[in-house]
């Protein structure tokens, strides 16, 4: 039932695909982090954006990522936005998690006492300077663990890109399966890879969390 020889034989192919998975994860998370911060900052700096942004966040969080991936990949061309599968996938994942991350940042911003804003006004700092130099440095560290959890969640959603044939881990396992009629080893190995990576990142997040608690204890 389980063939170690076959498992070893497909390991290099899977390892190559794992690199794509990691690339998608990192690039997607980079988009999520920066766009999420931009959205959360926009809500503070321009209060009128709060309603459209919260509506967009609600829309993105209420619909499946798979459909959003299809939407970007298939609907994009009708509006003159033709993306290759990898770009569309990274963009969809990044946008999806930007919605989640913006809520995390928002919680971080709200945890900074109002007095910090008032003190900055008293010191004649501009609003942007205040945000950049006073608020963000205080708002981000407490939410780093929450952001880390979304990194792990994002990582676990990357197999969805196999639906638009991005050659990541799951797609490569599916192809091995359809060529050899052996799904047992490839899919189990993919599962193990995710399990090990997730447990390792959960451990890393706990370490970071402990470090932050030590440094920023008020």
Partner 1 sequence: MGLRGLAGLLALTIATIWYLSGLEDYRIFVPGLAQGAAMTVQITAAAAVLAVTAALVAALLKLYGPAPLRWLAVTYIEIFRGTSALVQLFWLYFVLPVFGITLEAYTAAVIGIGLNIGAYGAEVVRGAIVAVPRGQWEATVALNMSRAQALRRIILPQAFAAMIPPWGNLFIELLKTTALVSMITLGDLAFRAQQMNQTTMKTVQIFTLVLLIYLAMSLVITIAMRLLERRAGRGILRARAA
Q: List interacting residues with partner 1 (CB under 8 A).
A: 1, 54-55, 58-59, 61-68, 70-71, 74-75, 78, 156-160, 162-163, 170, 173-174, 177, 183-184, 187-188, 190-191, 194-195, 198-199, 202
Token output for 27: 């690039």
Q: How far apart are CA 98 and CA 100, in angstroms?
A: 5
Token output for 132: 């950049």
Q: How far apart are CA 105 and CA 103, in angstroms?
A: 5
Q: Cβ distance 7 to 15 under 8 Å?
A: no
Residue that is written with structure tokens 């959890």 in the block: 149
- Nearest distance from residue 76's CB to partner 1, in Å? 9
- Nearest distance from residue 67's CB to partner 1, in Å? 6
Residue that is written with structure tokens 């299809």 in the block: 70
| Nearest to partner 1 of 127, 156 (CB atom) | 156
| Nearest to partner 1 of 138, 201 (CB atom) | 201
Token output for 124: 């004649």
- DSSP tag of 134: I
| Nearest to partner 1 of 69, 135 (CB atom) | 69
- Nearest distance from residue 77's CB to partner 1, in Å? 8
| Nearest to partner 1 of 54, 138 (CB atom) | 54
- Nearest distance from residue 202's CB to partner 1, in Å? 8
């Amino acid at each position: 039932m389980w063939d170690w020889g076959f498992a070893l034989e497909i390991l290099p192919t899977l390892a190559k695909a794992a690199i794509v998975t990691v690339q998608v994860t990192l690039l997607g998370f980079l988009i999520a982090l920066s766009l999420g911060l931009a959205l959360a900052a926009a809500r503070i700096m321009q209060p009128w954006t709060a309603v459209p942004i919260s509506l967009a966040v609600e829309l993105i969080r209420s619909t499946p990522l798979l459909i959003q991936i299809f939407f970007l990949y298939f609907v994009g061309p009708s509006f003159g936005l033709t993306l290759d599968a990898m770009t569309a996938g990274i963009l969809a994942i990044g946008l999806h998690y930007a919605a989640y991350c913006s809520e995390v940042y928002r919680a971080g911003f709200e945890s900074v006492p109002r007095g910090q804003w008032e003190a900055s006004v008293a010191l004649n700092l501009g609003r942007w300077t205040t945000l950049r130099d006073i608020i963000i440095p205080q708002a981000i560290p407490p939410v780093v663990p929450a952001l880390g959890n979304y990194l792990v969640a994002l990582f676990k959603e990357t197999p969805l890109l196999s639906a638009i044939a991005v050659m990541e881990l799951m797609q490569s396992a599916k192809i091995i399966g359809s060529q050899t009629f052996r799904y047992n080893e490839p899919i189990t190995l993919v599962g193990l890879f995710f399990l090990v990576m997730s447990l390792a990142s959960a451990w890393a997040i706990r370490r970071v969390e402990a470090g932050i608690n030590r440094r920023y204890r008020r």
